[in-house]
Chains A and B, each alone.
Chain A
Amino acid sequence: MAGTATEDVKVLGLALSPFVIRVRIALRLKRVEYEFVEVRFAEPKSEILVKSNPVYKKIPVLLHRGKPICESTVIVQYIDEEWTDGSGSSSILPADPFDRAIARFWAVYIDDKLLALIWALRPEKEAAKVTELTRQFRKVLGLLEEAFPECGKGKGFFGGDAIGYLDIALGSCLGWIRALEKDKSVKILDAEELPRLAEWAERFMAEESVKGLVPEADEYPKLYAAAVASQ
């Protein structure tokens, strides 16, 4: 059943984190109400963060009736399994085990490659290195561009007719991608090179469950500065 205030759902995080955005989209899809608790990620980290995620001390953390779940992809799967309407109509992961495996595979790939490229590109000032990182970025996205028709079975999202696990995993990175394109004056999600992804990105950002959760490109410098500021 859809969540109520008595469900006691909290999300510890920061607005600019793609990992946190994933969790918030998932909760919106399931119409679960939650309290968003902005935490200190730079040292000294918020006590509630350290207590609920002692292993990694990272965001996001989902607290459900006081019990923590950590790691964004683990949390999204938890949300999918905990708040189920029985008919499977609001499922985030695909129904078929093979489709689930493929969605999980690409989500792991995005975490291993794409996020690493975001963090590498963000501080990079040297032109040659920016070019090289952008090239690597486009190569990674190129693989997802190729995988899109098979995953989505010809429909508008990786999850088919509706956004799903892989849409969330990739879509949560769009804010950072746009921010980096602006900051470094480069094209990463180039509509000419990646037409399916470019169209998918517009559809994704227009979704009700996504609106307002992915910051605008020009908000990122301020959000980032606030996130890393030491006390």
Chain B
Amino acid sequence: MAEAEQVKVLRFWASPWSFRVELALKLKGVPHEKVEEDLANKSPLLLASNPIHKKIPVLLHNGKAIPESLIILEYIDETWTDNPILPKAPHERGMARFWSRFIDDKCVGACWMSCWTEGETQQMFMEQARACLRILDDELGGRRFFGGESIGLVDISASFFALWLGVLQEVAGISLINGDEFPNLCRWIEGFVASDVVTECLPPRDKLLAVFQSKKQAILATKSMVY
């Protein structure tokens, strides 16, 4: 009989990255403890568990520390094999890994920067973001989820678009993800957030909105301090 597993997630309530980890654990029914980090005052545990990057999320499993959300997702899938989040066939696994990396390397950054910049810089990021969203929209096609009939690695990786992007757009006063240009993605968002497991893990929208709004205020305040 295996001794009781100790699973902890060093996380931040507003982070889409730690959300990924918690969703995966929830989908697999793995009991875990959420350890909230104050990002302005990182705990000794976090600094010791992720000395290279000092970032959340970190998964602690029986004392072993695994950082980086996509790496954690693969670890979770390999350790708790019920309800797999990666497909079985090697080619499909490869494609799932490819699209997750595409989301992280290209999409999220362009969307994020679109919301925090202005003028020509913003236009440039918005064009990049739209190009990425178009690629994802095409890739998804008519499927319910990127993972097919159930939520998989790519869906979990794409969760940023399901909540965070909408909130950021509102704060920035721009429209990136919309039903006209990206009908498949918008349909996917509806289906994704309708899942009970997802709803249980998502942070409250109004709290997120408040955090991003005050970040925007802070940026504007700094800008207005001209010499």
Contact = CB atoms under 8 A, between A and B. Distances in A.
Given A81-B93, A98-B66, A74 B52 contact: no
B10 to A, nearest CB: 15
B90 A82 contact: yes
A227 B114 CA distance: 34
B90 A81 contact: yes
Given A105-B71, A108-B68, A77 B78 contact: no
B101 interface: yes
Interface in A133-161: 143
Contact of A100 (B67, B78, B93, B101): B78
A108 B55 CA distance: 15
Chain A interface mostly: helix
Interface string A62-100: 001001011100110110011000000000000001101
Interface in B20-76: 52, 61, 64, 66-68, 71-72, 74-75
A105 B68 contact: yes
B98 A100 contact: no
Contact of A74 (B61, B66, B79, B94): B94
A55 B94 CA distance: 15
B90 A78 contact: yes
A98 B71 CA distance: 10
A71 B101 contact: yes
A109 B50 CA distance: 13
Interface of B: 52, 61, 64, 66-68, 71-72, 74-75, 78-79, 90-91, 93-95, 97-98, 101-102, 135
Interface of A: 55, 64, 67, 69-71, 74-75, 77-78, 81-82, 97-98, 100-101, 104-105, 108-109, 143
